[in-house]
């Protein structure tokens, strides 16, 4: 493919993407394909000779788009928002076009330095304390990771390493193998499943603790778990707390947990994957209460912050402890530039992901991001009022852009309504089991969503409820 063909193909692709985004409202949010549909349509082996890009374009239209769940449709209310915006798309285009990777500074100065600077911008936008900045005098700093699951794993591994060193220094006769099997970490039952998985990967027993009535992990519960585990000879090393649980967007009590972590010298990692973006607005900064106890803080700019994945932002209070855990001892380097981001992560290279973050922040401006967040939250409040005005339903939780509500009727009826909605494929909404209740979980996701869209989605839920109830009455 020469440069002329590249430009032809790229122009056609841009037209496609612009049309796709602007007309996403018209596409069914859930695809109408059967499992295995693509295997039946696409050849089993690669072409020997190169093909024209026009054939690919045809296949995108005829085989790929019909098989997509439309994550950016205003009628997509499942999972969480997924970052995508025009500036971020172009940021990724530049990342691909420049095609730079970086390990140390010399291997790509601009890649490393832009990430260092933009992560500071981001920390300031969220209102994180000065200690977490790359530019602070202390050992704090921030770096882009691939996913919240990776950020959690990094936090847990550093916490594990720090505890291992502490126990060994006070018990010089103990071997690693005598300690490793005894390490235990804590999170809530409501935290993301990736937290439990990080325990498996790090070989640290991850205990899932119960939450209070609001879905929040409280200090007293952690306190009791630590007491029992220490009695059993276990060694608590880390707490992974959620600012915004996956199900209901509940907030763990960082202040209560933090005091205990400080006393026990346990690592405190915060997973604010979705909700972290709300901190862009000062009125939500109260969520940071207790941040003075936090060792590592993560949110996904690729969720609500309008940046395409993979762009999970992770800050540390003390990056020396991270380097102590990860930096290979035999690496003899003369650092030309600090911080050395390459030692704060699992892979040894980074792509130029800072570009898309930089583009989004500059094109939207802080005020543009705030407007986006407040718009979503106001739509969530509007949706909540629609649910509350319908006496067949009860709102159970409502936090930021996530509303969970239940039907006062039996759960079997809820199940049936959800099935009907899924079959009609007009909106994508998911069930959620919370405190032994089956709920409708509704999230404001798309950057294109309007108040009319929210009302349209509500009409779908409401009318399908009427349909099912009517059928049941007639039966």
Binding to its own copies in span 185-224, by CB under 8 A: 193-194, 196-197, 200-203
Please work out the total of residues on this chain that contact its own copies, with binding judged by CB under 8 A.
Answer: 131
Interface pattern 148-177 for its own copies (x via CB under 8 A): -xx--x---x-----------------xxx
Alpha helices in 232-285 (DSSP H): 254-264
Helix axes 254-264, 219-231, angle to 10 degrees: 30
Pick between residue 100 and residue 413 the one whose CB is nearest to its own copies. 100
Of 417, 459, 461, 457, residue with least CA distance to 438: 417
Q: How far is the CB of 321 from its own copies (least distance, A)?
A: 14
Of 9-17, 268-276, 286-294, 395-403, which segment contacts its own copies by CB under 8 A?
A: 9-17
132: tokens are 């977490």
Helices (H) and strands (E) in the chain, counts: 14, 13
- Looking up tokens 């069914």, which residue turns up? 28
d(CA 112, CA 115) in angstroms, rounded, equals: 5
Select the residue interacting with its own copies from 191, 248, 308, 318 (CB under 8 A): 308
Of 72-80, 222-230, 269-277, 460-468, which segment contacts its own copies by CB under 8 A?
A: 72-80
Q: How far is the CB of 112 from its own copies (least distance, A)?
A: 9
Interface pattern 312-331 for its own copies (x via CB under 8 A): -------------xx-x--x
d(CA 209, CA 64) in angstroms, rounded, equals: 42
Tell me how crowded residue 43 is: count the other CB atoms within 10 A of its CB.
7
Total residues found in the chain within this entry = 475
Of 458, 371, 342, 421, residue with least CA distance to 103: 342
Pick between residue 17 and residue 412 the one whose CB is nearest to its own copies. 17
d(CA 325, CA 339) in angstroms, rounded, equals: 16
Pick between residue 256 and residue 342 the one whose CB is nearest to its own copies. 342
d(CA 330, CA 135) in angstroms, rounded, equals: 28
* Footprint on residues 86-145 left by its own copies (CB under 8 A): 86-90, 92-101, 103, 105-111, 113-114, 116-117, 120-122, 124-125, 135
Pick between residue 138 and residue 262 the one whose CB is nearest to its own copies. 138
3-state DSSP helix/strand/coil % of the chain, to nearest 5: 50, 15, 35
Pick between residue 116 and residue 313 the one whose CB is nearest to its own copies. 116
* Footprint on residues 398-457 left by its own copies (CB under 8 A): none
Select the residue interacting with its own copies from 27, 78, 395, 456 (CB under 8 A): 78
* Footprint on residues 38-67 left by its own copies (CB under 8 A): 38-39, 42, 44-51, 53, 55-56, 60, 63-67
| DSSP for 3-35, written as a single string | HHHHHHHHHHHHHHHHHHHHTGGGS-SS----T
Q: How far is the CB of 440 from its own copies (least distance, A)?
A: 17
* Footprint on residues 357-396 left by its own copies (CB under 8 A): 358-359, 361-368
d(CA 15, CA 93) in angstroms, rounded, equals: 15
Of 1-9, 251-259, 408-416, 464-472, which segment contacts its own copies by CB under 8 A?
A: 1-9
């Amino acid at each position: 493919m020469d440069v002329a063909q590249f430009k032809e193909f790229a122009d056609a692709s841009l037209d496609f993407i612009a049309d796709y985004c602007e007309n996403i409202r018209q596409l069914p949010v859930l695809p109408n394909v059967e499992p295995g549909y693509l295997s039946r349509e696409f050849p089993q082996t690669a072409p020997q000779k190169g093909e024209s890009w026009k054939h690919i374009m045809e296949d995108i239209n005829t085989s790929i788009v019909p098989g997509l769940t439309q994550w950016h449709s205003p009628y997509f209310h499942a999972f969480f928002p997924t970052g995508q915006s025009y500036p971020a798309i172009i940021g990724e285009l530049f990342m691909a076009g420049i095609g730079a990777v970086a390990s140390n500074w010399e291997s790509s100065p601009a890649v490393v330095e832009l990430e260092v600077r933009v992560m500071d911008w981001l920390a300031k936008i969220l209102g994180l304390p000065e200690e977490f900045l790359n530019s602070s005098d202390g050992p704090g700093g921030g770096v882009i990771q691939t996913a919240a699951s990776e950020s959690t794993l990094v936090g847990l591994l550093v916490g594990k390493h720090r505890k291992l060193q502490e126990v060994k220094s006070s018990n010089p006769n103990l071997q690693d193998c005598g300690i490793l099997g005894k390490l235990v970490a804590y999170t809530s039952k409501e935290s993301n499943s990736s937290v439990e998985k990080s325990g498996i990967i790090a070989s640290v027993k991850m205990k899932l603790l119960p939450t209070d009535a609001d879905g929040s992990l409280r200090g007293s519960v952690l306190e009791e778990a630590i007491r029992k585990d220490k009695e059993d000879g276990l060694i608590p090393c880390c707490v992974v707390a959620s600012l915004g649980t996956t199900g209901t967007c509940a907030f763990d009590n960082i202040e209560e947990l933090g005091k205990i972590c400080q006393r026990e010298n346990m690592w405190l990692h915060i997973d604010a994957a979705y909700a972290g973006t709300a901190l862009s607005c000062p009125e939500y900064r109260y969520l940071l209460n207790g941040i003075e106890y936090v060792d590592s803080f993560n949110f996904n700019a690729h969720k609500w912050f309008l940046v395409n994945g993979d762009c999970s932002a992770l800050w540390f209070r003390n990056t020396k402890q991270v380097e102590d855990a990860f930096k290979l001892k035999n690496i003899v380097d003369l650092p030309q530039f600090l911080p050395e981001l390459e030692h704060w992560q699992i892979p040894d290279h980074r792509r130029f992901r800072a570009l898309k973050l930089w583009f989004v922040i500059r094109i939207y401006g802080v005020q543009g991001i705030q407007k986006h967040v407040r718009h979503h939250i106001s739509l969530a409040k509007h949706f909540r009022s629609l649910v509350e005005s319908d006496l067949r339903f009860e709102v159970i939780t409502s936090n930021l852009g996530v509303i969970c509500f239940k039907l006062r009727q039996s759960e079997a009826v809820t199940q049936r309504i959800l099935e009907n909605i899924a079959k009609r494929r007009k909106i994508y909404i998911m069930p959620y089991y919370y405190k032994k209740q089956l709920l409708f979980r509704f999230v404001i996701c798309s950057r294109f969503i309007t108040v009319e869209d929210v009302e349209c989605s509500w009409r779908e839920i409401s009318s399908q409820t009427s349909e099912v109830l009517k059928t049941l009455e007639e039966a």
